[in-house]
Amino acid sequence: MGKQSESKQSELIMVSRKKYAAMILLFGILSVPASVFPVLGLVFGIIAISMYVKNNSVKTLMMADVGKTLGLIGLILNLIITEIELLFFPLEKIPSWLAKYREVFFASDFWLDFENNFLTDTRYTYIGKGLLTTFQVTIFAALLGIGLGVVVALVRSSYETLKDELKGGFGKAVLFVLYKICGVYLTVIRGTPVVVQLMIIYFVIFASSNNKVLVAVLAFGINSGAYVAEIIRGGIMSVDKGQFEAGRSLGFGYVRTMALIIIPQAFKTVLPSLANEFIVLIKETSVSGYIGLQELTKGGDIIRSRTYSAFMPLIAVALIYLVIVMFFSWLVSLLERGLKKNERR
């Protein structure tokens, strides 16, 4: 009876923690759209963050962490939107302090530099179009890299697993040739800079093509595939050999054992590493300007060439990359926490 009572009590505590975390998540979610209102978004954000800080027991729950982060985003957005409203929104009666504040701000070197770099001739569109191109190249290159990486990893791990079982013949010869081709691919791709590979593909292999996005997707996808292949192969090799033998003892062939037993376990192991490879890929696309593709970095450089002012556009590009990387790094940390939580069950 004592153990049952303790078990029920722990369940009640967990339910209470989850309800509290759900409240943090709710206020965090509300703080983002409410940030357009000067007071409401601020209140929701402060409530979400203060609830998170006040209760240490919920800091291990993903809902609470997401709610706290959204509350922080809502606070930042609220401050930015409030500042924009104070500076730019037309008001019927402007207080003297606000009129003075606007006068000082619009006469400052910061605003004049900002206006010259981003607002004159709508130069901010270079940044916007470049950001869309960066995401476009990154997403399709990541898909290509994962596809190539899976194939190369399966070929290499299959040969290393089956080379002692196969007693010669056509099948082993084909697998051996594919294994060597994959080895050359990994050596060449990982041994040369990605910018050189990009230029070779654009100026040599696809010299007659004007589709720069396609060339960039191929270059970064092929480059990423080499690293993805080693990540996935490492995940496959990390699975205990007893799992493979267990599959064979159940009557599964090699393909079914890999598909149903080995790969699912390996995929869970390498998922955070694959997410980190995606983050690296986002930053690597910044060299696409070598072939004249207007991605994010090139967009900032175009503004610099028009205004002869390097600080503002390049800092803006750096901040955008930083925000993107911080966001995806946060998602990776949530993913890792979720996988660790599943392992403990």
pLDDT of residue 284: 92
pLDDT in tens, 188-238: 999 999 999 999 999 999 988 889 999 999 999 999 999 999 999 888 888
If phi > 0 it is left, if psi is from -120 to 50 it is alpha, else beta; for residue 239 that is beta
Residue 95 confidence (pLDDT) above 60: yes
What average pLDDT score do residues 232-250 get? 81
Give the type of residue at 8. Answer: K
pLDDT in tens, 288-298: 999 989 999 99
Instruction: Give the span between the Cα atoms of 288 and 282, in whole angstroms.
Output: 11
pLDDT of residue 231: 92
Instruction: Give the span between the Cα atoms of 277 and 145, in whole angstroms.
Output: 10
**Looking at the domain 127-344, which fold is it?**
MetI-like fold (1.10.3720)
pLDDT in tens, 315-330: 999 999 999 999 888 8
User: How many Å from the N-terminal Cα to the C-terminal Cα in the chain?
Assistant: 24
Most confident of 35-44, 186-195, 240-249: 186-195
- Give the percent of the chain with pLDDT over 70: 94
pLDDT of residue 226: 94
pLDDT of residue 194: 93
Residue 345 confidence (pLDDT) above 60: no
pLDDT of residue 307: 92
Nearest to 295 by CA among 129, 141, 119: 129
What average pLDDT score do residues 9-17 get? 78
Instruction: Give the span between the Cα atoms of 14 and 12, in whole angstroms.
Output: 5
pLDDT in tens, 129-178: 999 999 999 999 999 999 999 999 988 888 877 776 666 667 678 888 89
Nearest to 150 by CA among 75, 230, 79: 230
